[in-house]
Amino acid sequence: MSIDLLLIDPPLSMTKRYGHFAICGGKSFQTGLACIAAVARRDGFKVRILDMGVTDLNDDELGKYLDDCRPRIVGLTAPTIAISDAARVAGIAKRTLPGVLTVIGGPHISCAPEATIKRYSEFDVGVIGEGEITMLELLHLSNPSKDRFAEINGLIWKKGNEVSLSQRRELIKDLDWLPLPAVDLFPDLKSSYIPPYFSVKRTPAVTVMTTRGCPGQCTFCTNEIHGRVIRQYSLDYLFEYIYLLTKKYGIKEFQINDDTFTVNRKRVMAFCQRLIDEKIDLTWSCLSRVTGVTPEMLELMKQAGCWQICYGIESGDQAILDSLLKSIKLEQVYKTTEMTKKAGIGMKGYFMMGMPRETHETLKKTIDLALELPLDDMAFTIFTPYPGSPAYRDIHRFGTFAEDWDAMTTLNATFVAEGFTREELIRINQSTYRRFYFRPRIILSYLKRMTGARFIIIMAKGMYGLLSTLFIKRKYFEAKNQLSH
């Protein structure tokens, strides 16, 4: 059987993604691939999705799978850490089907297009930015050769030794133009996917997006795919999707992964009121800026099933926050966390360590703040200057940076700020996790969340992962990923 398009989420091991927190890690389906597949299928193209993080295929089995479905185009997605994995899969596709067109999309190619297309000959073409329309136009080409790539906006390719770029693709203005994501093309949602173990209250749980774009200027972030303009799905669209996931697939919890979910307070209030009015059995969590909520909004979010809000706090030092262009004040952090606690909603705080201009004094302020605030969960990551972020451009001014794409997670300390050592950053990171989680209040909060056998197993795995990370002496990284500074 021949198909038009095979979309692949390449294999990325839990160890590579989460390090020694691997047992606590989770797996979510790629909404971006689901949206591309839905658009292509609406135009009559035959599409499959292969999630290699769930479907465990070795190279021979992958070759047989490719030979069975014989796609015209193989599209892959990858963050920075998985780009080499995507290239390996594209190489297998090339060897199995010499005439196939291999297309790479996703965060990394959008942030480092020229360096990526030069490094990996396995990719024929890269998609920069949102991929739905770009991929659809590639499918409509009867002969998608390099001579015709210039006809399509949003592409990068190499011909000989020269790299070519077509015009920038405009963002999709009306998100309701998109069909519902083609989640039916993934393995069973209930059994195959679960967010990281420490971030759920009920299962089965999935991640969803209700908006695209973020107007923030944070120096550590990139917005090369969805841009700075916020675009929103209508509530009618969202609730059609919610009913699909809850009624057909039995989903009980959503993680709303919008960067700016609470920025439109009127929309959030309407969303919550509709969840209440329609009596949907759903718990959910979301991300928010500390400047994005009010007491009235928090009260309604609680009534509508919101059990946790994740706040990007980053640092306990105001000068560091200002240097990151966070546009928040520490006074707002204290005020918002107290408001959220009063509303009865749990909180997770995101913090970073080892930023440019970090000192031992500023880092102590961050750790003290993380322990002082009424948080229930914490992510304490090591600053990583990803390609495409403002911080990446002049990072060598502030320390040493080993730019190994395969090692660029927020746990590997690829960047070591001046005045620190890599070993010191890792030691402080582990110590802070121990100090935060092994407190009676935090342990008790997790015990209260243990409802049902599956959740007890989840929590046990998570606790084992945390304990092994903190107390078992093991090498931090495989030899091939060792970094020097």
Give residue-wise pLDDT tens across range 297-306: 999 999 999 9
**Domain ranges for the chain:** 3-165, 194-481
Cα–Cα distance, 137 to 431 (Å, whole number): 51
Residues contacting residue 459 through CB under 8 Å, at least 6 positions apart: 197, 446, 449, 450
Give CA separation, 337 vs 12, 197, 256, in Å: 35, 23, 19
Cα–Cα distance, 201 to 139 (Å, whole number): 41
Q: How is domain 194-481 classified at the architecture level of CATH? A: Alpha-Beta Horseshoe (3.80)
Confidence of residue 23 (pLDDT cuts 50, 70, 90): low
Q: How many CB atoms lie within 10 A of CB 400?
A: 17
Residue 452: its pLDDT value, please? 59
Would the CATH topology of 3-165 be identical to that of 194-481? no
Instruction: Tell me whether the omega of the peptide bond preceding residue 181 falls within 30 degrees of 0, making it cis.
Output: no
Please say whether the beta carbons of 181 and 41 come within 8 A.
Answer: no
Q: How many CB atoms lie within 10 A of CB 12?
A: 18
Give CA separation, 343 vs 281, 293, 302, 303, 450, in Å: 20, 11, 7, 10, 22
Among 314, 293, 388, 361, smallest CA distance to 322 is for 314
Name the residue with tokens 């050592």.
421
Residue 15: its pLDDT value, please? 64
Give residue-wise pLDDT tens across range 343-398: 999 999 999 999 999 999 999 999 999 999 999 999 999 999 999 899 999 999 99
Using a pLDDT cut of 90, give the percent of the chain over it: 73
Q: Token pair for residue 454? A: 């599956």
Give CA separation, 327 vs 291, 317, 483, in Å: 9, 13, 33
Q: How many CB atoms lie within 10 A of CB 35?
A: 22
Residues contacting residue 145 through CB under 8 Å, at least 6 positions apart: none
Residue 256: its pLDDT value, please? 95
Give CA separation, 471 vs 15, 104, 131, 138, 434, in Å: 17, 40, 44, 51, 9
Among 106, 236, 246, smallest CA distance to 189 is for 246
Rounded average pLDDT over 43-52: 96
Asked if the model's pLDDT at residue 196 lies above 90, the reply is no
pTM of the model: 0.91
Domain 3-165 is classified in which CATH homologous superfamily? Cobalamin-binding domain (3.40.50.280)
Q: Token pair for residue 30? A: 């790629």
Asked if the model's pLDDT at residue 184 lies above 80, the reply is yes
Residue 200: its pLDDT value, please? 82
Confidence of residue 462 (pLDDT cuts 50, 70, 90): low
Confidence of residue 458 (pLDDT cuts 50, 70, 90): low
Helix axes 440-449, 453-471, angle to 10 degrees: 150
Please say whether the beta carbons of 100 and 73 come within 8 A.
Answer: yes
Give residue-wise pLDDT tens across range 231-264: 999 999 999 999 999 999 999 999 999 988 999 9
Asked if the model's pLDDT at residue 479 lies above 50, the reply is no
Rounded average pLDDT over 72-77: 97
Residue 208: its pLDDT value, please? 94
Backbone φ, ψ for residue 130 (5° rounding): -65, 135
Rounded average pLDDT over 457-465: 61
Give CA separation, 139 vs 45, 76, 110, 158, 251, in Å: 8, 15, 20, 19, 33
